[in-house]
Structure 1
Amino acid sequence: MCHIRAARKHDVDELNRIACESEAYWGYDEKFMERFKEVYRITEDFICSNPTFILVEGSHVIGFYALIETHEGTELEYFYIDPRFIGKGYGKKMWERLIDYCREAGVKSFSLVTSPQAKGFYERMGAVVVGEVESLLREGRRIPRLRYEIT
């Protein structure tokens, strides 16, 4: 049985492992992944300052997500599944829990940027592409920006 819990400081290493392995799942080279580890490193301060939640089944951490507030509004900063569990329905479960949290917190919509490979998942969940942004990881690389409206 899956459940969601708030991330705690001591989860930081496991969350970084999952984020890196999940991103590497798409076949990126070593240089790209080293830059990913620098730019998207999760810290204890991040966990304490932003809503960060973990999907757990038994003793396994399946995945996690985190929201941040920016000058443009709420953004989905992280949404990662341990690669051993990709394609098994856990992403949808985690997404549903994310939307429940947003409703409870009064979040009306949020934006996210993602890799081109993951864009289809977010579109199946109801997010809509609203443009592209320059990747923070590789100069000249454009990645999709999406928006999700909470109904």
Structure 2
Amino acid sequence: MTGPVLRPARPGEEEALSQLCLKSKAYWGYDAAFMAAVSPYLKITSEAIAAGYTTVAERKDGTLLGVCQIEPGSTKGNLDLLFVSPDAIGTGAGRALFDDAADKLRAAGDKVMTILSDPYAEPAYIHMGARRVAMRPSDVFKGRELPWLEMDL
């Protein structure tokens, strides 16, 4: 298989891309109650698509492999969402999306990419060059902490 094709997300893809995010998150064995609670936070927005902040990885035949959404900042941009379809893990889709996000944040003038990571995703981000700088409280679950990562751009 050749590498993934990256393209901007298109208006009207919000639901399909949000479903990909949920499918990817569920891969780690989270239960239905957990998934229902985090669902509102795993949305691809039409605003981000219109602003050019959402990128899709797909096969040449159009099969969705992953999605990434960024939020540029003044000097620190945020990797808001990066999800890969479970059947696309290991295909290079995640790395391609991560590198593309870093390039876009760098082009926007950001010097650092920040990531509030799922604990299961943290090793992949560290492998790609991010480092843990703190643990931060979850917005969803009281008492749960998540890795806060940064990568110099």
Indicate whether the TM-score tops 0.5: yes
Which runs of 5 or more residues in structure 2 are unaligned?
none
| Further displaced range: 47-56 or 24-33 | 47-56
What CA distance in whole angstroms lies between the structure 1 residues aligned with 2:34 and 2:75?
A: 27
1:84 aligns with 2:74: no
CA offset at residue 90 of structure 1? 2.0
| Further displaced range: 59-68 or 41-50 | 41-50
Letter paired with 1:137: V
What CA distance in whole angstroms lies between the structure 1 residues aligned with 2:102 and 2:72?
A: 16
CA offset at residue 87 of structure 1? 2.5
Identity in percent: 27
Q: Residue 149 of structure 2 aligns with which residue?
A: 146
| Corresponding residue SS for 1:17 | helix
Q: Residue 127 of structure 2 aligns with which residue?
A: 124
What CA distance in whole angstroms lies between the structure 2 residues aligned with 1:106 and 1:49?
A: 16
Q: Residue 57 of structure 1 aligns with which residue?
A: 59
Alignment of 1:36-47 (within 5 A): 36-47=38-49
| Corresponding residue SS for 2:12 | helix
Q: Residue 25 of structure 1 aligns with which residue?
A: 27
TM-superposition CA deviations, 1:90-139 (whole Å, max 9, x none): 21222222233333333321101111111000000010101011112221
Q: Residue 17 of structure 2 aligns with which residue?
A: 15
CA offset at residue 65 of structure 1? 0.8
Q: Out of 78, 97, 107, which is 1:75 matched to? A: 78
1:66 aligns with 2:72: no
TM-score norm. by structure 2 comes to: 0.88
What CA distance in whole angstroms lies between the structure 2 residues aligned with 1:70 and 1:94?
A: 19
CA offset at residue 8 of structure 1? 1.7
TM-score norm. by structure 1 comes to: 0.89
What CA distance in whole angstroms lies between the structure 1 residues aligned with 2:17 and 2:142?
A: 26
Which runs of 5 or more residues in structure 1 are unaligned?
none
What CA distance in whole angstroms lies between the structure 2 residues aligned with 1:95 and 1:38?
A: 22
What CA distance in whole angstroms lies between the structure 1 residues aligned with 2:146 and 2:79?
A: 15
What CA distance in whole angstroms lies between the structure 2 residues aligned with 1:20 and 1:9?
A: 19
- CA gap 1:50/1:134 in 2 versus in 1, 3 angstroms: farther
CA offset at residue 36 of structure 1? 1.2
| Further displaced range: 90-99 or 128-137 | 90-99
